[in-house]
Structure 1
Amino acid sequence: MTAALTLYTHPMSRGRIARWMLEETGKPYDTVVLDYGTTMKAPDYLALNPMGKVPTLRHGDHVVTECAAICTYLADALPEAGLMPADRAAFYRWMFFGAGPLEQAVVNQSLGVTVPPERKGMVGYGSLDQVVATLVHRLAEAPYFAGDAFSAVDVYLGSQIGWGLRFGTLPPDPALTEYWARIENRPAALRARAADDALVKP
């Protein structure tokens, strides 16, 4: 792969997930830091991402938005990084579980949205308790979400679990805390965290 990689991000955003993923690939990349309400809404950036949010990944002429898509794209585009597991079914299942049920359940709870019991069938996650139970069940089967080895899905889903445990939007279930302890100090995760922390304005 010779095309340049550029990450458009902000240190206090989901761009932290994309940076961790880029660090896991071991490939060089450029970083463009945008600010909320100004450069993130500027015409040149809106031409890349009309949502006016981050992260966005540019790879040559290709533009990818949404963290799950960025992680999946990089795992697929850079097979030598070993982040796309052989079990593609598990990979896609859990990547999109994170992008769908987990994120929806956590965001709704954080916003104080209560789904009436008789309406649970209308939301893709049912309840936060069901989502957590599903994660715990999977982690009883395997140490990582796609099986026995760390993969891109652990960057994405793992980041959400780590944030949820830190900010109290997920319960401190032993299965979740043990899983997060396995991945939070990976060298790529530490490099990504240091790079973003250095960008946070005092």
Structure 2
Amino acid sequence: MQSVECKLAKIGDEYVGKMNVVANVEIGPMKCQPWLSRASSEEVSMLSLVTFPDPGVDGGHNYCRNPNRDPDGPWCYTGEATGKGLQYCQVPLCFEAYERSAVDGDPAVGYPECLQTEMGKEYVGTVRKTDTGKSCLNWSSMNSSLEIFRDFLGFDQKITYDGHFRFGKAALHQDFCRNPTLMKRPWCFVTHLGDWEHCEISYCPTNPSEINPAKGQNQ
């Protein structure tokens, strides 16, 4: 089982992982500085420590964060010697990092084997059975018969069936529970006639993106 550190969206202001190294094409890997060592800088002086998603920031805290909700995502300071100071961290998006590992047969530990929201549009885990224990069918196997249940299940007729799924291809999601439309929670088809059922998936903890860092992530 592979562990993945990730952010839920590009802004990543909820990220509480352990990444503390940024990549620079000119200089190479650079270690982040502790946030409190830069308390006098303009950016940090305008921030309150309560804006950090962590329960507390001590002198050793040098992990990538986004306390000012920078639209480019989590960042950190890497030192005046670089001439750049602030650097952005290459924290992957959870659904991209996890789904690729799941498709490769090596699902990650932690998010997203849980729900961030009740609707679960973000869910890309590997549950493949319904509330009643029925096995899910492959999403791609339903493509040819979609028209008979499109209106009832909320598939948008303006876009293709594949277009409802992340990465634009239903086959990538195999027979995993998903919510490609706007149902109340993740679901799947259980017959080729269009019968479907919801899936039983637990909710994530308070800080769902706080999961074990990948090997070699930190230095």
Normalised by the length of structure 1, the TM-score is: 0.25
Which of the two has higher C-alpha Rg?
Answer: 2
The structure richer in helix per residue is 1
Normalised by the length of structure 2, the TM-score is: 0.24
